[in-house]
Amino acid sequence: MKINKEGYRIIGVTGICCLAIWFYAYFFIDSWASFIWFMAALLLVFWFFVAAFFREPRRVQIHDDELIFSPCDGRVVVTEVVHEKEHIDCEMMQISIFMSVTNVHMNWMPVGGIVEYFKHHHGRFLVAWHPKSSTENERTTTVVRLKDDRRVLIRQIAGFVARRIVSYVKVGEPMAQNSVLGFIKFGSRVDILIPKDSELFVEIGDPVIGSQTPIARLKRNN
């Protein structure tokens, strides 16, 4: 396991701040030695907790053109048919996955194909489970065109705590299934909109693992 590059600066600054607080307490606060070392332990735990946000696990990259994989770690909070209005303009099956602060915060490409559309939207920072977070929060929208011209939409959504979305996609570039899509700092939510006639494998409340858990199967074209 390694640390994602998005965390280098935050982890470094946090470490410096923790050291500064401890040195100040050690040299300038007249207190018991046991309290000083207790503070050191707390600061160390806090630093490891921040570092854990940016962990990048090594995972087997699975390829299956019929399967749609989870784009992130977390828990399914929505499965419903919605009308996608931003780009595709048709009814699609939406699967929403909430990432808690303890989940891995990397995002993966659930299908393979060509990036047809990408847009970053500035917006609000409602809690990720709010019904309007999909359309009103800061978010990115990525649409991938598959080999058979069907399309899948992935939406990275910032939440109340997570206010920094990073996406590595570029319009016109091919993306392999389960390659790294981006990163949401400090967790939030990812929506994936797939063809309405897909076979769904998950229900609300199910835990999923990014790039490893198949969440749906595309209907075969005759």
Residue 121 — pLDDT band, cuts 50, 70, 90?
Answer: confident
Is residue 220 scored above 70 in pLDDT? yes
Is residue 26 scored above 80 in pLDDT? no
pLDDT tens for residues 46-72? 888 888 777 788 888 899 999 999 999
Q: One of 96, 167, 188, 211 is an active-site residue; which one?
A: 188
Higher pLDDT, 139 or 205: 205
What amino acid is encoded at 93 in this protein? M
Residue 32 — pLDDT band, cuts 50, 70, 90?
Answer: low
Higher pLDDT, 82 or 220: 82
CB atoms within 10 A of CB 132: 10
- Quick check: 155 and 190 in contact, CB under 8 A? yes
Q: Residue 167 catalytic?
A: no
- Order of all β-strands in the sheet with 180-184: 106-108, 180-184, 165-167
Q: How many helices (H) and strands (E) does the chain have?
A: 3, 16
pLDDT at 80: 95
Is residue 83 scored above 60 in pLDDT? yes
Is residue 76 scored above 90 in pLDDT? yes
Q: CATH says 67-217 is which class? A: mainly beta
pLDDT at 200: 96
pLDDT at 187: 59
Is residue 163 scored above 60 in pLDDT? no
Residue 85 — pLDDT band, cuts 50, 70, 90?
Answer: very high
Higher pLDDT, 131 or 191: 191
pLDDT at 3: 77
Is residue 118 scored above 80 in pLDDT? yes
Is residue 33 scored above 70 in pLDDT? no
Q: Helix 33-53 crosses helix 8-28 at what angle (to 10 degrees)?
A: 170
How large is the average pLDDT for residues 205-213?
96
| Token pair in block for residue 101 | 């602060």
Closest by alpha carbon to 126, among 144, 138, 115, 117? Answer: 138
pLDDT at 14: 87
* Domains of the chain by residue range: 2-56, 67-217
What amino acid is encoded at 16 in this protein? I
| Token pair in block for residue 45 | 């735990």
pLDDT tens for residues 172-204? 999 999 999 998 876 588 999 999 999 999 999
Is residue 128 scored above 60 in pLDDT? no
How large is the average pLDDT for residues 89-118?
93
